[in-house]
Amino acid sequence: MIENHKIAFLFPGQGSQVVGMGKAFHDAPRPPRAPSAASRRR
């Protein structure tokens, strides 16, 4: 049984990833969503 061990998942790439690269996208306000086709059929 594994106890008190930390696990890390490593995904090798081409080195183009940097720490915090998606922060601005994540923190940006979301644009309003357009109504879906299903909601227009009513």
Residue-wise DSSP of 12-37? --SS---TTTTHHHHHSPPPPPPPPH
- What is the rounded CA–CA span in Å between residue 28 and residue 22? 10
Task: Judge if pTM exceeds 0.95.
Answer: no
pLDDT score of 20 more than 70 = yes
- What is the rounded CA–CA span in Å between residue 21 and residue 4? 30
pLDDT of amino acid 2: 60
> Tokens 């995904």 label which residue?
11
Q: What letter does residue 28 receive in the DSSP assignment?
A: S
- What is the rounded CA–CA span in Å between residue 36 and residue 17? 34
